[in-house]
Structure 1
C-alpha cells in the first residue's frame, strides 16, 4: 500500500479541495518554510488510516477543514479513506470507497460517512494481507489477546519530528501507554518470524495450561476435602460413641474403617415412645381428683349439717327437760287441782283472762314428755348417719391421697420420658450429620482422587506436547535471526553516514527488548541513549527504518509500503528557523548524505517503497533532489504557500 494523494475539504463545502499528490515507489519531498503545515501531514495520514484519537492542531486546520481524504493504491486496486473532522476528542466515523486504477479523490458533495474505523481497519488489514492472526499473551500476563491489524503495522511507517530525534524510543507513539508492548508482541509476526500457526499453538498452550491448573486445583481440593472428611469422620465417631450409638471406636481408625463405622451408626434404630398414653392417664387422674374433691366437699357439707342438727337437738331436749321438770311440780297439788281457773284463788275475783287449768297443764306435760321420748329415740339414728358420713369421707380422702401419689409418679415418668426423647433427638441429629458427611465425602473417595490424578497427568502431558511444538518454533530465535539480517543494512548505512560509534561497530541492530537501536562493539554493547548528539540519533533512526522497510519489501510482509519522515535534518539547523536555505554555515554535506541515502534506498527497492519526507531543507544544486520535490511551500512573488491555502484562512 502506497499513498497517491491527500485532500483537505473546506468546512463550508466549497468544491475545490486542497490536494497533495505523491509519487508511488519513489522519494517524495515536501519542503518549505517553518509553520506552513508540513508536520501536520503525518498526523493527517495517520488519522485517515483509522486512528480514533487524532493529534491534529487546533489552528488553522480545525477552523477550516471539514473532511480529510487519503487515496491509497494497492497492487491492483485503490481505496479512498475519508474521515470527517473530529467533533471532540475522538470519532469513529469514516467513508470508504474502493475501485480500480481509475478511482480518484471524491468531490466535496460526495463526502458522507458510510462506515466506521473498525471496518476501515479491517478492510485495510485484509488488503495488506494481514492474516487472521490473534496474538495470545503468555500465561499470567495482564494484557488481553488482540487481533493484529493495520493499527500495529502503521506504527512502523511514521516518524514525526519529536520521534525521529528521540534517543530513548525508536518507533511511532512508542512512549504512549501500551504501544511499546504491542510493538514487541506484533513485530515477530510482521517480520515473518511468527504466524497464525504459532499463535494457534500458543492459544492451545494457554488453554492447556489453564486446564492443567484447573485439574491441579480439583485434585488439591479433593485431597483437602478427603483430609477434612477424615477428621470430621473421627469426630462424629466419638460423638456417636458418647451417645451410645457405637460401643467401641478405635483410637486411630483407617479412612475405610471410619466410613464403615459411620455407616454402621446409621443402621442403629431408636424406638420412639409416644406420650399419648401418658397424657390420657394424666387426664383421667385429674378428672378423678376433681370428682373426689367434689365428693369430699359434699360429705363435709353433709357432716356440717348433721352436726348442726345434733346441736339443735341437744338444745331442744335440754329445754324440754327443763320445762318438764318445772311442770312436774303440779303433781304435788291436792284439791286445788280442781280450782276454778276463771276466779283468782287469792281474792276470788273473776279474771279477765282465765288461767290454764291443772288438767290442761297436765296434758301439756304429758305431751312434752312424749316428745322428749321421741327425740331421744332419733338420736341414735343421727349418730349412725354421722358415722357413715365420716367413714365415707375417710374413703374419699384415701382415694385423693392415692390419686396424688399417682399424679406425682406420672410427673416423674414425664421427666424420664423427656430425657429419653432428648436423647433420641440427639441421636437422630448425630445420625443426620453422619449421613450428610458420608454424602459430601462421596466425591472424595479414593477412586475419585485417582481419577482426578489421572486427569492431571493427561493435562500435564498435553501441556508438555504443546510446549515442545512451541519450542520447536522458537519465535524469539527466529525474530533475532531476522533482525540480524536487517542489521546488515543498518551497519552498512550507519558507517556510510559516519554515525557515532559506527566506524568501530561489529553490528548496528534493533533490540526487540528495548525497542531501540544498539551498537555492538568489541568493547561491549552500546544502546542509542548512550550515544551523543541529535545528528546520531536521527541517523540511527533513519538507517533502522530504512533497513526495516527494505526487509519488509524483500520478504513481502504485510506492512504499508511507505515511510513518512518529518524534519530529519533538524539537527543541522538552529532550533527556530524559517527557511533552511538561508543558513550558510550548516553541514550541508551531511544533509546531502542523509537525502542521498533516502534516494538510494528508494531506488534499491525498485518502486516497492515510497518515502515521504517533510523538511525545511532544499538542496537547490542537486537535480535529483529537485525532481523529488512534490510541494515547495516558500513564497512566490510575495504569495505565501502552505498546507492551508491563504484564501481559506482569510
Structure 2
C-alpha cells in the first residue's frame, strides 16, 4: 500500500504555525539532542490517526499546541487530518479533515472520528465483514481496524533493543490478540474472502452446537429435573417455599413465580409491601427450620425406640431377678439397667414437651404468616422490584429463564433436530475454506530467506552470528537465530544485536508483503534511534569510522536501510518512506542516496519553537 507522511503541522494557542516536512520515497532523518520533542512526532502521528488515548507530554508541548495536523498520502490520495490538543489525559473529539490534503491556516472541526475512520477503513480495504477472532480484551467478531496494521510500521524506543518483543503496543490485549491475524493478512497467508468464508462456517457450526445442546436436553429431562431440585432448594433457603416436595416439576416452579408478585407502589404502600414480603421470607425460613428439627427429632425417637425394643429381654430379666444367682455387683448392674430402660421409655413417649413446644411455635408462625399474607394481599401490586427484595427478583428471573429454556426444548420435536443439523452440516460442506497452515509455512520460509540476505549484508556487525540462520517464529512473533546444521536456537546477547534483529525482521516482513502484493501494509517505517545501543542519548565527540568502531556499525545499519529502499524501487517498483529519529552526527549518513536529512533539533530549533515557550511563560 502506497503510504507516507508529507507534513506534520502544529498550531500554537496564539495562532502560530510550526511545520515539519518529509520527503516521499526517502529515509527522512531527524537528528538532535535529547528533550527536543523528536519522539513526540510518533505520538503526533498516532494521535491524528484516531488514537483513543495519547502519549503527548503536557509540559512544553500540549501547553503550547492548540491543534496537531498530519498531511499524508495513501494509495492515490492525499489527505489531511487535524485534531485538537488533548486536555490532560482526555483525547479530543474535534477533528478537521480534508479529502484533498488541504492544510488550513486555522483549523476548525468539520468531521467526526467515525467519518474519518470509514474513509481510512476503505483505503485499507477493510469493511464490516472483516472481523477478528476473539481473545482476552477483544470480543469475538470485533471489526478489524486499520490501526492494527500500523503495528507493521513502527519500531519505537521501547522495543528496538528488546529481545522478547518486536512489535509495539503488545502490552495492550487487543493489539496482542490482533497481531497474528494482521500478519496473516499482511503477508498474503490469508485473504478477506477466506476469512469471510471461515466466519460463515463458524457461524453455522455455532448453530449446530446450539441445536445439539437442545437435542441433548430434549432427550435428557433428568438433567432439567436435577437443576429444578437445586432451584427448589434455593427457594426454600430464601423462604419462598416451606419445604421441598418429592417431585419438583414445571408446575411447581411456575407456582413459585406466580406466588411471588413484585410491587409498584409509592410512599408508605411500597415500604409496607417490601417489609411484609421480607417478613414473609423470614417466617417461611423459620417454619422450614422447625419442620426440619421436628423431622430429625422424630427420627431420633425412632432410633431410641429400636434400642428400647432390643432391651425388652433385659426387662424380663429384671422382673425375675430374685430367682437369679446374685454376686456382689448384681444389685448395681440391675439398678443401672432399670434406670436406662426408664430413661428410654420417657424419651420415646408419644408426646414430649419439646414436641408440644415445636407444634405451638408452628401454629403461631402459621397464624403470623396468614396475617402477613392478608396484609400483602391488601397492598397494590404491579411489576417492579425494590431494593429490599432485589435478590428475590433475581432469583425469580433465574426460574423464569430455566422455564423458558425448557419450554424451547420440549416444544420442538426431538426428531426435527436431526434434520436441521443435517441441513446445516450440508451448508458447511458447500463453503470452501482454505487451510492456511501450509501457506503459512511457505511464507515463513520466505521471511527466513529474506532475513538471511539482510543478515549477510550486516555480516560484521553481528559478530559470531553472521553465518547463523534467521528463523521467524509466528508463535512468539520474534526473530531468532539457528546454528547451522542444528536445531539449536540461540539467545542472542547485546542490545546492538537485538537492534539489528529488529531492523532485519521488519525489512524482511515488508519485502515479503511486497512480493506477495499485499494491499494492507503501508510502505512506511518509523524508527526511533537505531543507534541507541551505541551512542545512548547524545551526540558523540569521537567520529572515527574504523570498521570495528561503533560509528561503522551504525553506518552499516543505515546502509542496510538505504539498500532496502533502493531495492523496493528497482525490484518491486514501489516507493518506501522511512522517518528515523537519531542523535548521531550527520556524517554517518554520508554517501547514502536515499537519505533526506531534516534540520537538526539543536539550540533554538526544536519541535516547539523557543518563541512559543517564551510567550507562554510571559502570559
1:515 to 477, 490, 513: 477
Q: 1:621 to 1:151 in 2, by over 3 A?
A: closer
What SS does structure 1 have at the residue aligned with 2:220?
helix
User: Corresponding residue for 1:613?
Assistant: 580
Range that drifts further, 177-186 or 112-121: 112-121
Aligned to 2:95: 94
Structure 2 unaligned segments of length 5 or more: list them.
Answer: 226-405, 615-619
**What is the aligned partner in structure 2 of residue 54 from structure 1?**
54
Distance 1:130 1:442 in 2: 39
Deviation at 1:216, TM superposition (A): 0.9
* C-alpha separation in 2, matches of 1:33 and 1:500: 29
Match of 1:7 among 6, 9, 24: 9
TM superposition shift of 1:210: 1.3
Partner residue in 1 for 2:564: 601
Question: Within the alignment, does 1:76 sit opposite 2:76 as a pair?
Answer: yes
1:124 aligns with 2:88: no
Paired residue secondary structure (1:210): helix
The alignment partner of 1:605 has SS state of helix
2:416 corresponds to which of 439, 451, 468: 451
Alignment partners' CA distance in 1, 2:141 and 2:494:
39
Contact 2:28–2:595 under 8 Å retained in 1: yes
Judged with a 3 Å threshold, the aligned counterparts in structure 2 of structure 1 residues 524 and 4 are, in CA distance, closer, same or farther, namely same
Matching residue within 443, 458, 483 for 1:497:
458
Q: Is 476-485 or 152-161 further displaced after alignment? A: 476-485
Give SS of 1:179's match: helix
How much has 1:452 moved relative to structure 2? 2.2
Instruction: Give 3-state SS (helix, strand or coil) of 2:210's partner.
Output: helix
1:256-284 residue CA offsets vs partner (Å, 9 max, x unmatched): xxxxxxxxxxxxxxxxxxxxxxxxxxxxx
Distance 2:175 2:224 in 1: 50
Q: TM-score, normalising length from structure 2?
A: 0.63
Displacement after TM superposition at 1:116 (Å) = 2.5
Report the CA distance between 1:157 and its aligned residue.
Answer: 0.7
What's the Cα RMSD here? 3.0
In 1: Cα distance, 2:150 partner to 2:41 partner: 15
| Alignment deviations for residues 38-80 of structure 1 (CA, whole Å, 9 cap, x no partner) | 1111111111111120111122101111111111123432100
- Corresponding residue for residue 587 of structure 1: 550
* 2:525 match: 563
SS at structure 2 position matched to 1:599 = helix
State the partner residue of 1:647. Answer: 611
Task: With the length of structure 1 as denominator, give the TM-score of the two structures.
Answer: 0.60
Which of 103, 106, 115 does residue 104 from structure 2 map onto?
A: 106
Note if contact 1:553-1:608 (Cα within 8 Å) is conserved in structure 2. no
CA distance in structure 1 between the partners assigned to 2:408 and 2:78 by the alignment: 68
Question: Greater shift after overlay, 512-521 or 163-172?
Answer: 512-521
Distance 1:626-1:142 versus aligned 2 partners, 3 A rule: closer
- TM-fit CA distance, 1:222: 1.5
User: For residues 21 and 407 of structure 2, what CA distance do their matches in structure 1 show?
Assistant: 78
| Length, aligned pairs only | 420
Secondary structure at 2:173 match in 1: coil
Deviations 1:524-572 (A, max 9, x none): 2526xx2111011110100111122223334142222210000101111
Q: 1:56 to 1:138 in 2, by over 3 A?
A: closer
Mean CA deviation greater in 559-568 or 547-556: 547-556
Give the direction of change, closer, same or farther, for the CA distance of 1:188–1:500 in structure 2 (3 Å limit): farther
How do residues 139-538 of structure 1 correspond to structure 2 at under 5 angstroms? 143-225=139-221, 448-463=413-428, 466=431, 469-470=432-433, 473-498=434-459, 499=462, 502-506=465-469, 508-521=470-483, 522-526=485-489, 530-538=491-499
Change (3 A) 1:115 1:588: same
Cα deviation, residue 612, structure 1: 1.1
Distance 1:221 1:627, change over 3 A: closer
Q: Secondary structure at the match of 1:115?
A: coil
Q: Which runs of 5+ in 1 are unaligned?
A: 230-439
Cα 1:171–1:557 change in 2 (3 A) is same
Deviation for aligned residue 1:221: 1.5
Post-superposition offset of 1:477:
2.8
- Tell me, in whole angstroms, the C-alpha distance in 2 between the residues paired with 1:138 and 1:61: 38
Displacement of 1:163: 1.4
Q: Aligned equivalents of 1:87 and 1:478: distance in 2? A: 47
* Matched-pair contact (CA < 8 Å) for 1:226–1:444: no
CA contact (8 A) 2:566 2:594 kept: no
Distance 1:460 1:76 in 2: 44
| Superposed displacement of residue 464, structure 1 | 5.5
The corresponding residue for 2:347 is none
Distance 1:510 1:106 in 2: 45
Q: Aligned partners of 1:588 and 1:599: how far apart in 2?
A: 16
Does the CA-based 8 Å contact 1:25-1:609 persist in structure 2?
Answer: yes
Is 1:541 matched with 2:502?
yes
Q: Residue 643 of structure 1: SS of its match in structure 2?
A: coil
Q: Go from structure 1 to structure 2 and tell me whether the alpha carbon gap of 1:83 and 1:141 turns closer, same or farther (over 3 Å shift).
A: closer
CA contact (8 A) 1:32 1:634 kept: yes
- Partner of 2:467: helix, strand, or coil? coil
SS of residue matched to 2:164: coil
